[in-house]
Amino acid sequence: MTDPQEKTLIEALKKVDAHGDVAPPHVQDPMTMVLRQRAIQADLMRWDDSRGHYVLTGTGRSRISARSRAPGAVVRFKKRDHGDDGAPHRNA
């Protein structure tokens, strides 16, 4: 997905988390319907019969949190001394 589409999808998922749908029920524009269908097909949200509205799945929640997270830091690795690494060696 392109970046503007991804941002739109993330904003829609945040609305689902807050209000239970990507837009109010009376809004039936094509973009809203496409966002709703895309989120359902990607298993980002699902209809909850007991609550009577859409809820985010674990995948949807991780998609929101992954988008808000800062990129990972680069970590340098030190080389081990092969004779003194303390790890058990496997015999193949």
More confident residue, 51 or 72: 51
In terms of Cβ atoms closer than 10 Å to its own Cβ (0-12, 13-18, 19+), residue 38 is: middle
C-alpha 22/C-alpha 38 separation (Å) is: 11
Mean pLDDT value across residues 65-87? 63
Which helix (H) or strand (E) segment holds residue 66: the answer is: helix 58-68
Domain 3-68 class? mainly alpha
More confident residue, 89 or 29: 29
pLDDT score of 46 more than 90: yes
* pLDDT at 75 (0 to 100): 64
DSSP state, residue 22:
S
Residue 73 tokens, joined: 């830091």
Q: For the chain, give every domain's residue range.
A: 3-68
**15-19, 37-41, 65-69: least confident range:** 65-69
What is the average pLDDT score of the chain?
Answer: 80
